[in-house]
Amino acid sequence: MSHIIEIEGLKKRYGDFRLEIPSFQIEAGTVTGLVGANGAGKSTTLKLLLNLIRRDAGVIRIFGMDNVERENDIKQEIGVVFDEPCFHDLLSPRNIGRVMREWYKNWDDGQYTRLLDRFSLPPNKPVKEFSRGMKMKLSIAAAMCHHPKLLILDEPTGGLDPLVRDEILDMFLEFLQDESRSILLSSHITSDLDKIADTIALLDKGRLVFHEEKDALLDSYAVVKGGNDQLALLSEEKMIGLRRNRFGFEALCRRDAARKYPQLAAEHPTIEEIMLFFTKGKMENQERTDVL
């Protein structure tokens, strides 16, 4: 498979915050979910890809081209949706279509009309009369009408009700029926990623913790549960993260390690649990070490 996005030695500093991604690739035909807490560096990474902010060091190649040198060629093939819709309130979807058709060589008026129709967006109503869900649908429709090869989506389903989210996710799945297309999606809503992501990348405090195939990721970890008295059984180095409550503890371990403790209950983790254990759970684990 060819790489749609390749990152090497990427560095960006914002005051105290430092983003460092030594290596990261996205294959064609895949959906990559970028997860992490607020301020982990998800939006910064997406902005660096789009050259909306300048990198301090490193290389970013999209479709094999440097994202700064060939910025405009690359952007002809990318559809972008930000967490906040960026359209003027006074303009209608029809006006917006008329503007954007001048930006992209492959703009497809028919596709735009079909998507407006599919999302039940009134073409002549000003955007100021739209709900947040309608505005996000409009952003997505506008991002998809030049037949991009890559969609970059920053929290596209944030603040939307489950029905709209589901509709949008279905849209993304249809987009991926052409296997040359890819999606890079940052989201807090890990259930969305459960549904559509092929690979998951976790960012924590500006560091890329892992980037793995979703199924392999879910298969290779287990959440081990037990009473407080059983915590001592668990070897510290086998634990990725630890959470304690008044009934006992939960720990994330590699699945093969979890098998060594048959006396403890082991369950399949969700993406959210993996994310929490890798970030928040790590801190608790550190606290435990300090206490011991």
- Binding residues for other proteins (CB under 8 A): 47, 50-54, 71-76, 78, 80, 82, 84, 86-91, 95, 98-104
Rounded (5°) CA angle 115-113-85: 60
Amino acid at 139: S
Residue placing its CB nearer to other proteins in the complex, 175 or 221: 175
Q: What letter represents residue 145's amino acid?
A: C
C-alpha span between 4 and 132 (Å, rounded)? 31
Alpha-carbon torsion (283, 284, 290, 292), positive or negative: negative
Give min distance, CB of 243 to other proteins, in A.
37
Residues 6+ apart with CB under 8 A from 235: 257
Compute the distance between CA of residue 204 and CA of residue 280 in angstroms, rounded to an integer.
10
Report the distance separating Cα 153 and Cα 184, nearest Å.
6
- In the complex with other proteins, the residue whose CB is nearer, 75 or 165, is 75
Tokens of 179: 């296997």
Smallest distance, Å, CB 188 to other proteins?
Answer: 20
Residue with smaller CB distance to other proteins, 79 or 281: 79
Cβ pair 242, 283 in contact under 8 A: no
In whole angstroms, the minimum distance from the beta carbon of 254 to other proteins comes to 39
- Locate 272 and state its tokens: 């959210």
Alpha carbons within 13 angstroms on the beta-carbon side of residue 112 total 21
Question: Residue 79 or residue 226: which is nearer to other proteins going by CB?
Answer: 79
* Closer CB to other proteins, 73 or 219, in the complex: 73
Report in angstroms how near the CB of residue 197 gets to other proteins at its nearest: 22
CB of 142 or CB of 240, closer to other proteins: 142
Q: How far is the CB of 158 from other proteins (least distance, A)?
A: 15
Question: To the nearest whole angstrom, how small is the minimum distance from the Cβ of residue 269 to other proteins?
Answer: 35
Residue linked to tokens 């991926």: 176
CA gap 241, 282 in Å, rounded: 5
Give which of 170, 230, 211, 174 is closest to 25, Cα–Cα: 211
Considering beta carbons, is residue 90 or 291 the nearer one to other proteins? 90
How far apart are CB 75 and other proteins at their closest, in Å? 4
